């Protein structure tokens, strides 16, 4: 039986940040990962370049039953703090847009930096360790197999950093939620988020042949208006604007989509009525394939007709079909394609300043396992760094 000041289960972004922070304070820290390699999600994020933070991170960028919960962690560990961390390891980065920071070369550099920091601080990292259960008596006991032999690790403090349910091919499980329930902590419903949306077969048929087509769009979901790139897929809709909208979309509710946000389409068509067709008038504003299909669907009579021969009502109706298109998605592509999990351990169960469970001394939850989901654009990584730092800084160490 080996005893540690703290045991962290899950060597992803939050877990590694927590481990190196606690070890830097002099803690004897054990970090366990069930995959053979740590930080697999970091490796594939951002197209392999890892959108590791966002310069404009605020509580408004997060979805939770209590979005104010995130404020303390974000104040304790800012995007600038993580930038300083990677700059120590000479990692080059760039701002893509809207404050989104990416590695210039590869996400592997972030992983190398985290591993190096853990090694330098003396973190005991064990990978390929499948933790099946947690025993809690006077301390936390973690029984597991190491090289085929049963070992028990013990500690007065346990940090759960096992992530959510998204991307099960990378090893995602519900272990963290099971532990929360084991200790009678409340959890909120979990659903896929930052995920493509699917359409019913009849609706999908409307967009036959449009898979792969991309264009700028805005989506109104509830009271939110989101602007970004839109992508038609063979199952429905994707692209950054759709992934962002999925965070706020509720089943059986409509999305309103504006496929031409660059101008007031109705006013433009009325003002420019001429011998040109509607398709010709709009060719600089919308892809030809989109225009062709929309005319076929909503104004077949106008496809080869001069716009001046069309009534104002017909032009207004067609503009509305493009800029106020409403549809109810059938669902999402699920956790298999979701970037993150919405929901998790209820924030009401945790101390926002330390991430420790109110009713279980020494038990902490950090990262994606908590009901705190960021928008697309580096916010979820910033939550991982911040919540990991907060817990690593808060755990009790002998003086």
What integer pLDDT is reported at residue 1 of this predicted model?
A: 83
Backbone angles phi and psi of 100, in degrees to 5: -80, 120
Reported confidence tier of residue 114, pLDDT bands at 50, 70, 90: very high
Burial of 21 (0-12, 13-18, 19+ CB in 10 A): buried
| The model's pTM | 0.96
* 160-212: pLDDT as tens digits: 999 999 999 999 999 999 999 999 999 999 999 999 999 999 999 999 999 99
Alpha-carbon Rg for the chain in angstroms: 25
One DSSP character per residue, 43-81 reads HHGGGGT-EEEETT--GGGEESTTGGGHHHHHHHS-HHH
* 278-326: pLDDT as tens digits: 999 999 999 999 999 999 999 998 888 999 999 999 999 999 999 999 9
Residue 54, beta-bridge partner list = 100
Q: What class, spelled out in words, does domain 197-332 have in CATH? A: mainly beta
pLDDT above 90 for 57:
yes
Where exactly are the structural domains of the chain?
A: 2-190+342-394, 197-332
* 243-290: pLDDT as tens digits: 999 999 999 999 999 999 999 999 999 999 999 999 999 999 999 999
- The Cα 351–Cα 288 span in angstroms is 54
- Other Cβ atoms within 10 Å of 211 Cβ, number: 13
Superfamily the domain 2-190+342-394 falls into: FAD/NAD(P)-binding domain (3.50.50.60)
What integer pLDDT is reported at residue 59 of this predicted model?
A: 98
Reported confidence tier of residue 364, pLDDT bands at 50, 70, 90: very high
- The Cα 399–Cα 392 span in angstroms is 16
Structural contact between residues 30 and 39, judged by C-beta atoms closer than 8 angstroms: no
What integer pLDDT is reported at residue 398 of this predicted model?
A: 85
What's the CA angle centered on 297, arms 243 and 270, to 5 degrees?
95
Residue 357, classed as helix, strand or coil, is strand
- The Cα 333–Cα 239 span in angstroms is 13
Q: Residues 233, 234, 237, 243: is their CA dihedral positive or negative?
A: negative
What integer pLDDT is reported at residue 337 of this predicted model?
A: 97
pLDDT above 80 for 399:
no
With a pLDDT cut of 90, the percent of the chain lying above it is: 96
- Six-digit token pair at 341? 């999990």
- The Cα 219–Cα 226 span in angstroms is 5
Report how far apart, in Å, the C-alpha atoms of 308 and of each of 269, 291, 302, 312 are. 10, 18, 11, 9
Q: Which residue has the tokens 């104010």?
A: 68
Reported confidence tier of residue 33, pLDDT bands at 50, 70, 90: very high
What integer pLDDT is reported at residue 365 of this predicted model?
A: 99
pLDDT above 90 for 155:
yes
Question: For the residues 233-241, what does the mean pLDDT come to?
Answer: 98
Q: What is the length of the chain?
A: 399
- Other Cβ atoms within 10 Å of 149 Cβ, number: 7
Question: For the residues 19-40, what does the mean pLDDT come to?
Answer: 97
* 77-91: pLDDT as tens digits: 999 999 999 999 999
Question: For the residues 30-45, what does the mean pLDDT come to?
Answer: 96
pLDDT above 90 for 147:
no
């Amino acid at each position: 039986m080996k005893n540690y000041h703290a045991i962290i289960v899950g060597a992803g972004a939050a877990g590694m940040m927590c481990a190196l922070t606690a070890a830097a304070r002099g803690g004897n820290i054990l970090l366990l990962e069930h995959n053979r390699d740590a930080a697999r999600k970091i490796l594939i994020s951002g197209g392999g370049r890892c959108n590791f933070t966002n310069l404009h991170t605020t509580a408004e960028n997060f979805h939770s039953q209590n979005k104010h919960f995130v404020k303390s962690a974000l104040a304790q560990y800012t995007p600038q703090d993580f930038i300083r961390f990677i700059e120590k390891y000479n990692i080059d980065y760039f701002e893509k847009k809207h404050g989104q920071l990416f590695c210039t070369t590869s996400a592997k550099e972030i992983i190398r930096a985290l591993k190096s920091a853990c090694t330098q601080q003396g973190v005991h990292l064990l990978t390929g360790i499948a933790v099946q259960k947690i025993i809690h008596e006077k301390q936390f006991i973690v029984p597991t197999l190491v090289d085929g032999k049963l070992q028990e690790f013990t500690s007065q403090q346990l940090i759960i950093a096992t992530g959510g349910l998204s991307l099960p091919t990378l090893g995602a499980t519900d272990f963290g939620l099971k532990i929360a329930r084991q200790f009678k902590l409340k959890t909120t419903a979990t659903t896929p988020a930052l995920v493509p949306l699917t359409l019913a077969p009849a609706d999908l048929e409307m967009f036959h042949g449009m898979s792969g087509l991309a264009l700028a769009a805005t989506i109104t979901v509830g009271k939110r208006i989101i602007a970004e790139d839109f992508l038609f897929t063979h199952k429905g809709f994707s692209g950054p604007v759709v992934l962002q909208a999925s965070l706020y979309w509720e089943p059986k509710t409509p999305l309103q989509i504006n496929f031409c946000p660059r101008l007031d389409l109705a006013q433009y068509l009325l003002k420019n009525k001429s011998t040109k067709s509607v398709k010709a008038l709009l060719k600089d504003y919308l892809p030809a394939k989109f225009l062709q299909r929309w005319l076929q669907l909503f104004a077949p009579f106008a496809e080869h007709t001069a716009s001046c021969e069309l009534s104002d009502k017909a032009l207004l109706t067609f503009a509305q079909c493009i800029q106020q298109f409403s549809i109810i998605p059938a669902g999402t592509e699920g956790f298999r394609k979701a970037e993150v999990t919405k929901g998790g351990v209820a924030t009401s169960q945790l101390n926002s300043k330390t991430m420790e469970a109110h009713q279980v001394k020494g038990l902490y939850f950090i990262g994606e396992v908590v009901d705190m989901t960021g928008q697309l654009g580096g916010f979820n990584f910033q939550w991982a760094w911040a919540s990991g730092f907060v817990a690593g800084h808060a755990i009790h160490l002998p003086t």
